[in-house]
Amino acid sequence: MRIERPHPEIGALATGVDVRALDDGDWQTLYRAWLDGIVLVVRDQTLTKAEFLAYSRRFGRLKPHRVRRTRDPEHAELTVMGIGTRKADGRVDASIYNRGGHWHTDSPWDDEICKGTQLYGVAIPSSGGDTAFASMYAAYDALPDDLRQRIAGLEAEYIYGGRKREGHDLLEPEDRERPPAVHPLVRRHEETGRLSLYANPHHIVRIRGLSEAESDALVRTLTPYMVETPVQYRHAWRKGDIVIWDNRCGLHRACGGYPIDEARIHWRTTIMQDGVPQRLAA
Ligand code: SIN
């Protein structure tokens, strides 16, 4: 197995390995590369759904995604992304074509922190369709001291799609009015011990204890640190790639821009961190 680092702080690309037959040493190396790189790509895999689920489970418990209609009918823990980019009348369905098109972490609207998300590239278009990733360690490190002090101890509320409720039509009616989940703006990563900014500009509703105007202004101030950090990795997909990202310390977005009538299909799993208490940053 060979692991390359496209950037010293983000991204790790593994080749020469079959995830169906990993020995303990290679597994430990991959896991460490993921923690260090925030995003881990394993190239050239040929997997069944059951094999992809088994590999995903090595990272932690899998949780079925809240969007029920894109779950695989036989495996609730597996979401199939990218099916149905056109509506019956021929118009583009943006909630499928652009799913994940804003900078975000996955599942901040869930009380349980989602440790990782893993995608497997099943069908990849001839151009476009990349996924971009940004380091929230770097975002936190770049904050001026007064801003760091201002956000220490603050918590934010999140709902699916944020205040605009974007993508809500993907949810079943009974899942649309769930109460917000609350998470600290600064997190200490449970495994690396590093501090990161966790402010998810897409799904945020408000920062607790601030007026709506103050909360919006603070999100606007924090957002450039998150989405303009130079510590980014942009993944150009190949069929057979597995990509896992760490939602505790990174943002990502689907870059779109692929031909609408070419298939871009991924299998997706949501990986939880059981037994690891969430801690406020010191
Ligand atoms: C996501 O945001 O979960 C999907 C990213 C992608 O499709 O590139």
67, 97, 253, 269, best to mutate for ligand 1 pocket (most atoms within 8 Å of CB):
253
Distance CA(226)–CA(251), nearest Å, equals: 8
- According to DSSP, the β-strands at 39-42 and 12-15 are parallel
Q: Is the CB of 254 under 6 A from ligand 1?
A: yes
Domain ranges of the chain: 2-272
- Can you tell me the mean pLDDT for 107-120? 94
Give me the percent of the chain exceeding a pLDDT of 90: 82
Q: What is the pLDDT of residue 97?
A: 92
Q: What is the pLDDT of residue 275?
A: 60
Tokens standing for residue 191: 């495994």
Cβ atoms of 80 and 265 closer than 8 Å: yes
- Can you tell me the mean pLDDT for 237-248? 98
pLDDT tens sequence across 149-191? 999 999 999 998 877 777 777 887 887 888 899 999 999 999 9
Say yes or no to pLDDT of 121 above 90.
yes
pLDDT tens sequence across 86-105? 998 999 988 889 889 999 99
Q: What is the pLDDT of residue 282?
A: 34
Specify the higher pLDDT residue, 144 or 67: 144
Residue 231 alpha carbon to ligand 1 centre in Å: 19
Residue 194 alpha carbon to ligand 1 centre in Å: 25
What is the pTM (predicted TM-score) of this model?
0.94
Q: What is the pLDDT of residue 42?
A: 98
Residue 99 alpha carbon to ligand 1 centre in Å: 6
Q: Whose CA is nearest to atom 7 of ligand 1?
A: 254
Q: Whose CA is nearest to atom 6 of ligand 1?
A: 254
Please name the fold of domain 2-272.
Double-stranded beta-helix (3.60.130)
In sequence order, which residues have a C-beta less than 8 Å from that of residue 71 and are 6 or more positions away? 64, 65, 77, 78, 79, 80
Total Cβ atoms within 10 A of residue 83: 11
